[in-house]
DNA sequence: ATAATGACTCCCC
DNA sequence: GGGGGAGCCATTA
């Protein structure tokens, strides 16, 4: 790695860090904010490396349906859900309740 | 450079 | 409404 390749990750981390407390965002929204709307999948890949950054709230990032698709990548089983609930985000069956209300779009809020 | 993988998304049946 | 297949992009082997 090394190189500017990490720059893409940095951009993803930067956006994720901007997600306010009690709010969530989607891979597509983040990818779009980065200028690569079709790189939603790549954003998820970047999140895979987000474990190295303890300041990246990956638990606030879900798929477009508001489903905790990446919960399996967390150390615990319901860690991601508990974290969201701890922030006031209601989660049921690995899915965020009132996702539209908790949804936060970087470029719009930006 | 090619092929395979993945925390996604869209289109079709 | 639910399920299956293809597309896109970045990383790794």
**Per-run averaged pLDDT (10 residues), chain A, 110 residues:** 71 94 94 90 92 92 92 89 94 90 79
* Residue A52: how many other CB atoms lie within 10 Å: 10
A45 touches strand B (CB under 7 A): yes
Residue A87's CATH number = 1.10.10.10
**Helices in chain A by DSSP H: which ranges?**
5-17, 27-34, 40-48, 79-86, 99-102, 106-109
Number of domains in chain A: 1
Domain containing A97 equals: 5-102
Q: How far is the CA of A107 from the C1' of C1 (A)?
A: 32
How high is the pLDDT of residue A37?
Answer: 87
Classify residue A79: in a domain, yes or no. yes
Residues lying close to strand C (Cβ under 7 A), chosen from 8-47 of chain A, are 8-9, 36, 38-42, 45
pLDDT at A22: 95
Q: Nearest CA to A9 among A38, A35, A45, A40?
A: A45
Rounded distance in angstroms from the CA atom of residue A65 to the C1' atom of nucleotide C2: 15
Contacts of A34 (CB under 8 A, 6+ apart): A8, A11, A12, A15, A43
C-alpha span between A67 and A5 (Å, rounded): 28
User: What is the spatial distance, in angstroms and rounded to an integer, between the CA atom of A108 and the C1' atom of B5?
Assistant: 32
Is any atom of strand B within 7 angstroms of residue A77's beta carbon? no
A97 belongs to a structural domain: yes
Beta-ladder partners of A96: A91
pLDDT value of residue A15: 93
Evaluate whether residue A27 is within a structural domain. Answer: yes
Q: Is A110 contained in some domain?
A: no
């Amino acid at each position: 790695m090394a190189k500017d390749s990490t720059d893409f990750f940095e951009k993803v981390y930067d956006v994720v860090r901007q997600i306010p407390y009690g709010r969530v965002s989607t891979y597509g929204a983040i990818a779009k904010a980065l200028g690569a709307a079709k790189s939603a999948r790549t954003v998820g890949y970047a999140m895979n490396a987000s474990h190295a950054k303890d300041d990246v709230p990956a638990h606030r990032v879900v798929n477009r349906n508001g489903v905790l698709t990446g919960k399996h990548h967390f150390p615990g089983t319901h860690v991601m859900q508990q974290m969201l609930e701890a922030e006031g985000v209601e989660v049921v069956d690995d899915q965020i309740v009132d996702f539209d209300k908790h949804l936060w779009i970087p470029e719009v809020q930006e």
